[in-house]
Amino acid sequence: MSEYNKKTIDMYNLGGALEYIGNSNVDPEIEKWKKLFNYVKSVLPKDKNVKIIEFGSGCGQLAAMLQESGYDVVSTDAVDTFLEEQKRIGITQVKKYNFLADDFDKVFDSKADLIISWRNPHLDVDDMRKLFGVVYEGLNDEGLFIINFQNSEVHPEAEILPNGTKYNYKVLEDKQTKEKRFYAYFSKEDIEELRKDLFEIIEYHNEGGKEQKNWHVLTLKKIKRI
């Protein structure tokens, strides 16, 4: 795991998580969660007989909605404060899990039909490659992976790491976060590189911001090993 991801987790552990929870309680963004919930539902089979694991669930809003609607869902995070918040809002299956450091098979008792990694922009290219490998191994055959990435097209000011990651290390202007955070940005070509040989694209769109292109959103399907 990169020093950037480690620093981000340290930042969340040292008060950033409480600040994040505070911000999301002030601005619950209910419509955004409903939209995401409907998107997730739209790619899943109708019978709800699927095992879902969410990576980096943060406050747990999406997992709570999926649980409420009858899905078998586990919410996770690497940061205790977020796990406490997930339990506080009533999620019954909560697990501490760092997807870049922990062993999937030791934490979860079975593979998943759907893994979600939503709004986790704190990963450089190498972390992202690792995440894709972990998700591939953690899914049942033909399992689905929902992920979003910040779009490099709307961040021409980004700097570039030696491994090619486009990024900023900054304080968010709209939320006035106290500590700097690492934000990585990806192009469609970067995503192609990450998913080829592992996943096929089931759905792709852009959303967010004035021009609706702040984020790449994808549903991917695991390609069976030959």
Ligand X SMILES: C[S@@+](CC[C@H](N)C(=O)[O-])C[C@H]1O[C@@H](n2cnc3c(N)ncnc32)[C@H](O)[C@@H]1O
- Rounded to the nearest whole angstrom, what is the least distance from the CB of residue 56 to ligand X in the complex? 3
Binding residues for ligand X, rule CB under 6 A, total: 20
Other Cβ atoms within 10 Å of 38 Cβ, number: 10
Among 2, 5, 86, 152, binds ligand X (CB under 6 A): 5
Q: Are strands 199-207 and 215-222 parallel, antiparallel or unpaired?
A: antiparallel
- By CB under 6 A, name the one of 44, 77, 83, 151 that touches ligand X: 77
Q: Which residue has the tokens 């953690």?
A: 138
**Are the C-beta atoms of 66 and 43 separated by less than 8 Å?**
no
Residues in region 86-105 near ligand X by CB under 6 A: 98-100
Q: Are strands 215-222 and 139-150 parallel, antiparallel or unpaired?
A: antiparallel
CA-based nearest residue to 63, from 29, 87, 97, 99: 87
Tokens at 105, concatenated: 């098979």
> Which residue in 2, 57, 75, 86 binds ligand X (CB under 6 A)?
57
According to DSSP, residue 223 is labeled P
**Residue corresponding to tokens 């790449």:** 216
Q: How far is the CB of 208 from ligand X (least distance, A)?
A: 12
Residue 79 sits in the site that holds ligand X (CB under 6 A): yes
HSE, CB side, 13 Å, CA atoms: give it for residue 7: 13
Calculate Rg over the CA atoms of the chain.
17
**How far apart are CB 48 and ligand X at their closest, in Å?**
22
What are the residues facing 186 on neighbouring strands? Answer: 151
Q: Kindly tell me which residue out of 9, 63, 144, 184 binds ligand X, with binding defined by CB under 6 A.
A: 9
- Of 140 and 177, the one with the shorter C-beta distance to ligand X is 177
Asked if 32 touches ligand X (CB under 6 A), the answer is: no
For position 138 contacting ligand X by CB under 6 A, the verdict is no
For residue 139, list its beta bridge partners: 112
Query: Residue 219 CB, nearest distance to ligand X (Å)?
Result: 16
Footprint on residues 103-122 left by ligand X (CB under 6 A): 118-120, 122
- For ligand X, which is the closer residue by CB, 57 or 152? 57
Which residues of the shown chain bind ligand X in the complex (CB under 6 A)?
Answer: 5, 8-9, 12, 55-59, 77-79, 82, 98-100, 118-120, 122
